[in-house]
Structure 1
Amino acid sequence: MPPVLTLLTPADGRRVPWRNGLGLTTEIALEAVDGGRFLWRVSVADVAAAGPFSAFPGYDRLIAVVEGPGMRLTVDGAAPVERRRMESAFAFPGEAAVDCTLLGGPIRDFNLMLDRATAKGAVTMLAGPLAHAAEADAVLVHALAGTLTVTAAEGGEAIAVPAGYSVLVRGGAATVTVPEDGEGVCAEVWRRG
């Protein structure tokens, strides 16, 4: 049976306040579990000013800059780490004390959060032209520029994904085709055990 592909429009996103009350994030997709926790969540946050990150104990986080100049993160007092637009995602524990400084203005970042006990994941930045093969329990592809195409394995359907839209893939592998002028992000989630 081929994987199931679901197109998510910008209107499907849910705007929620940060836990620390200092900003807003748009939840693109999540898989809820008991007690108000989630197995995983993909979101995009607008960061307008420097400040601390919210704490998410028990979660692993992967974050990448998708708009704006970039940011400098200090995690638990360690040496700062800089990330600029379309550079590889930075991973850190959700319970860490994280301070963010902006590198020249507001940014938008892509976030994958994973319940550490039950899931693991990866974030891949996509810049065309390329074809990226993804296979996980859940795959979310978010288009940033151009129109990406997500094609399910085993002769499944193909979905065009314009900028600002996403596709959630469940139940198997898919190929993401990124045109020369295209950019996107691919989050892959695997259940542990």
Structure 2
Amino acid sequence: MRVLRAAEYKSMPWKNGGGVTTQIVVSPAGAELDDFDWRVSMARVEGSGPFSQFAGIDRTLAVLEGEGVVLDIAGWPQATITPATIPFSFPADVATAATLIGGTITDLNVMTRRGMIAHSVERLVTSAPVVIQAEMGTTLVLCLSGEILVSAAEPVRLGPLDALLDSPNIADIRVQPTQQTTLFVIRIRNASGND
């Protein structure tokens, strides 16, 4: 189990140079934007415009802050993503343009290499203890708001935008919020289903 602190995340320019992204974690460690297997990041989007394209990558987007965004994805129906909608998955290698609904947003991006790695993203809003079931692969829990206590050999406290990276096949993650809290549970696994 590895704790990822928001203060230690790495910021870098978007692939298309249109803004800045904050990388939470990437695999393999040290991978660049063109050679990662999977990547979890956040971006502050201050204006409408095109998304960066990533060859052979599947992406899931969730809005963390702001009113939301409308995506025009080549060959897809238009998609509106807000803090209330479920995380939205689409291919990262097709032309995609974003139109902000009401000003700047911060979004969460989860990207995996198609055919090799798969992922899922779930938003949980809770004020009660929750058990996040262990599954094959790697699980990342991102605390968006509030504060949570994670039961482990030594209890871990996570604040806003801190994350917990659970190694493959470790025991269930037990989370105790100190108030109403929004969490994102991100699961990364081999596309074949074998780890």
- What TM-score, normalized by structure 1, do the two folds share? 0.88
How many equivalent pairs are there? Answer: 186
- Partners of 2:133 and 2:12 in 1: CA distance: 28
Letter paired with 2:183: G
Q: Which one of the candidate residues 161, 167, 171 is aligned to 1:170? A: 167
Deviation at 1:77, TM superposition (A): 4.7
Tell me if the contact between 1:52 and 1:100 (Cα under 8 Å) persists in the aligned partners.
yes
- Partners of 2:75 and 2:100 in 1: CA distance: 17
Deviation at 1:58, TM superposition (A): 0.5
* Structure 2 spans left out of the alignment, 5+ residues: none
* Structure 1 spans left out of the alignment, 5+ residues: none
Cα separation, partners in 2 of 1:151 and 1:37, compared to 1, 3 Å: farther
2:132 aligned with 1:133: yes
What is the aligned partner in structure 2 of residue 182 from structure 1? 181
2:7 aligned with 1:11: yes
Letter paired with 1:85: P
What is the aligned partner in structure 2 of residue 63 from structure 1? 61
Q: Which one of the candidate residues 43, 50, 66 is aligned to 1:52? A: 50
Deviation at 1:157, TM superposition (A): 4.4
Letter paired with 1:69: E
What SS does the corresponding residue of 2:26 show, helix, strand or coil? strand
Cα separation, partners in 2 of 1:51 and 1:132, compared to 1, 3 Å: farther
- Partners of 2:78 and 2:174 in 1: CA distance: 33
What SS does the corresponding residue of 1:38 show, helix, strand or coil? coil
Q: Which one of the candidate residues 93, 96, 99 is aligned to 2:94? A: 96
What is the aligned partner in structure 2 of residue 23 from structure 1? 19
Structure whose residues are more often strand by fraction: 1
Q: How does 1:144-163 map to 2 (within 5 A)?
A: 144-151=144-151, 156-163=153-160
Seq. identity, %: 31
Larger RCO, structure (CA 8 Å, separation 6 or more) = 1
Cα separation, partners in 2 of 1:79 and 1:16, compared to 1, 3 Å: same
The Cα offsets for residues 24-71 of structure 1, whole Å up to 9 and x where unpaired, read as 100000112889511110000100000010001111100100100011
